[in-house]
């Protein structure tokens, strides 16, 4: 099968289109013919091996996986002997983050628990856009943010992959949502349901006197002290993005310290595996109240170019890879 492979850390230039062995499912695995994949910041962090601590997870001195891609949608081609939930021909979408990535290939084998039936009302491309970005938003808003209907929620970085899901998921839970983005994205953020939009080139949300019950900080461009000041009493701030390793460690260490007195809570979002996510998001997507916002769609052979674009940090929604020219 064809795959986009990397054997050493570096920029998109180290990615190569190669012919590799087609995998065979183990007892608890399904073999998926990939129809679409999507890109996430985790792909380019693993590609570059940055921040350097990333290499504790991705391997040192060389990466221990060769095929990136944590989000996939496709059709089950074969199942292992102990698989009970799927059969060949099922249309599925999958979260490969916890099982070694591998979506940037014609086929991938994953544990049964990492897949769910694709929402019936959306395309493979729309389904592939969902897992990492939507689960990140769901964990930040529902789990760590403990959102309640009627609360005032601010999403800083509302126009990117995570942000476009965060705005819609906060709305889905009944919140009053303010999105922060640049001028060119104001209409998109409004169109996906934000009650208010702040253009960060015109206004600093930490300086305008407004307070929020929940802040989801994806852009990660404000100090914790500024974020704490604009939290309501009992407010929660979940920092999702990070600009540098120092920023991430700073939030991880300072957040609990700054939350020790008083009622405001601040902290970094910690990634977690939750086997229910795929089915929870399937139900939400099937209501039509949350949709995938796709910025650009690239062909399989254009994955290096797609990663270069994502790394620029100005995606409007998700970057999707379609296998239509391969299948």
Ligand X SMILES: NC(=O)c1ccc[n+]([C@@H]2O[C@H](COP(=O)([O-])OP(=O)(O)OC[C@H]3O[C@@H](n4cnc5c(N)ncnc54)[C@H](OP(=O)(O)O)[C@@H]3O)[C@@H](O)[C@H]2O)c1
Binding footprint of ligand X on the chain (CB under 6 A)? 40-41, 132-133, 136, 156-157, 159-163, 180-182, 185, 200, 218-219, 221, 240-242, 310, 313-316
Name the minimum Å distance from CB 89 to ligand X. 29
Q: Label residue 191 exposed, middle or buried (CB < 10 Å: 0-12, 13-18, 19+).
A: exposed
Name the minimum Å distance from CB 294 to ligand X. 11
| Chain position whose Cβ is nearest to ligand X | 160
Name the minimum Å distance from CB 16 to ligand X. 24
In the bound state with ligand X, the residue whose beta carbon lies nearer, of 41 and 67, is 41
Question: Which H or E run includes 181?
Answer: strand 176-181
**Nearest partner of 32 among 82, 90, 85, judged by Cα:** 90
List the strands of the sheet with 265-268, edge to edge.
Answer: 196-199, 176-181, 152-156, 212-217, 231-239, 265-268
**Nearest partner of 321 among 313, 94, 309, 302, judged by Cα:** 302
In the bound state with ligand X, the residue whose beta carbon lies nearer, of 51 and 80, is 51
**Nearest partner of 71 among 97, 46, 89, judged by Cα:** 97
**Nearest partner of 200 among 220, 181, 215, judged by Cα:** 181
**Tokens matching residue 207:** 């300086």
Separation between Cα atoms, residue 74 and residue 302, nearest integer Å:
19
In the bound state with ligand X, the residue whose beta carbon lies nearer, of 40 and 292, is 40
In the bound state with ligand X, the residue whose beta carbon lies nearer, of 102 and 157, is 157
Name the minimum Å distance from CB 207 to ligand X. 14
Name the minimum Å distance from CB 60 to ligand X. 20
Judged by DSSP in three states, 129 sits in coil
Name the minimum Å distance from CB 14 to ligand X. 20
In the bound state with ligand X, the residue whose beta carbon lies nearer, of 25 and 161, is 161
Contacts of 135 (CB under 8 A, 6+ apart): 95, 274, 277, 281
In the bound state with ligand X, the residue whose beta carbon lies nearer, of 78 and 96, is 96
In the bound state with ligand X, the residue whose beta carbon lies nearer, of 106 and 295, is 295
Question: Which H or E run includes 307?
Answer: helix 303-311
Question: Which H or E run includes 97?
Answer: none
Name the minimum Å distance from CB 135 to ligand X. 7
In the bound state with ligand X, the residue whose beta carbon lies nearer, of 87 and 201, is 201
Name the minimum Å distance from CB 177 to ligand X. 15
DSSP string, 62-90: S-S-SB--SEEEEEEEEE-TT--S--TT-
**Nearest partner of 178 among 165, 191, 161, 193, judged by Cα:** 193
**Nearest partner of 189 among 158, 161, 233, 156, judged by Cα:** 158
In the bound state with ligand X, the residue whose beta carbon lies nearer, of 26 and 272, is 272
């Amino acid at each position: 099968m064809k795959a986009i492979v990397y054997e050493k850390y570096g920029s998109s230039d180290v990615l190569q289109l190669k012919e590799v062995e087609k995998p065979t499912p183990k007892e608890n695995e399904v073999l998926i013919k990939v129809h679409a994949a999507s890109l996430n910041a985790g792909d380019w962090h693993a590609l570059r091996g940055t921040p350097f601590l990333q290499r504790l997870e991705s391997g040192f001195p060389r990466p221990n996986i060769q095929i990136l891609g944590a989000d996939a949608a496709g059709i089950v081609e074969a199942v292992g002997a102990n698989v009970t939930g799927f059969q060949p021909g099922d249309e599925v979408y999958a979260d490969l983050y916890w099982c070694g990535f591998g979506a940037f290939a014609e086929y991938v084998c994953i544990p049964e628990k990492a897949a769910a039936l694709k929402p019936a009302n959306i395309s493979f491309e729309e389904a592939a856009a969902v897992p990492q970005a939507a689960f990140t938003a769901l964990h930040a808003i529902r789990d760590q943010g403990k959102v309640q209907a009627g609360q005032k929620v601010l999403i800083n970085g509302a126009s990117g992959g995570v942000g476009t899901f965060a705005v819609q998921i906060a709305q889905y839970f009944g919140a009053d949502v303010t999105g922060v983005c640049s001028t060119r994205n104001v209409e998109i953020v409004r169109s996906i349901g934000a009650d208010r939009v702040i253009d960060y080139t015109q206004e600093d949300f930490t300086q305008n006197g407004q307070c929020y019950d929940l802040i989801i900080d994806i852009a990660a461009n404000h100090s914790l002290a500024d974020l704490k000041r604009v939290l309501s009493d009992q407010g929660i701030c979940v920092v999702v993005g990070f600009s540098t390793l120092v920023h991430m460690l700073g939030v991880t260490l300072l957040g609990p310290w700054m939350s020790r007195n008083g009622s405001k809570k601040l902290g970094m979002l910690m990634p977690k595996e939750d086997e229910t996510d795929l089915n929870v998001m399937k139900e939400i997507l099937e209501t039509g109240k949350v949709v995938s916002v796709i910025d650009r769609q690239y062909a399989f052979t254009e994955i290096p170019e797609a990663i270069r674009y994502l790394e620029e940090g100005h995606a409007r929604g998700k970057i999707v890879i379609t296998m239509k020219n391969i299948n």
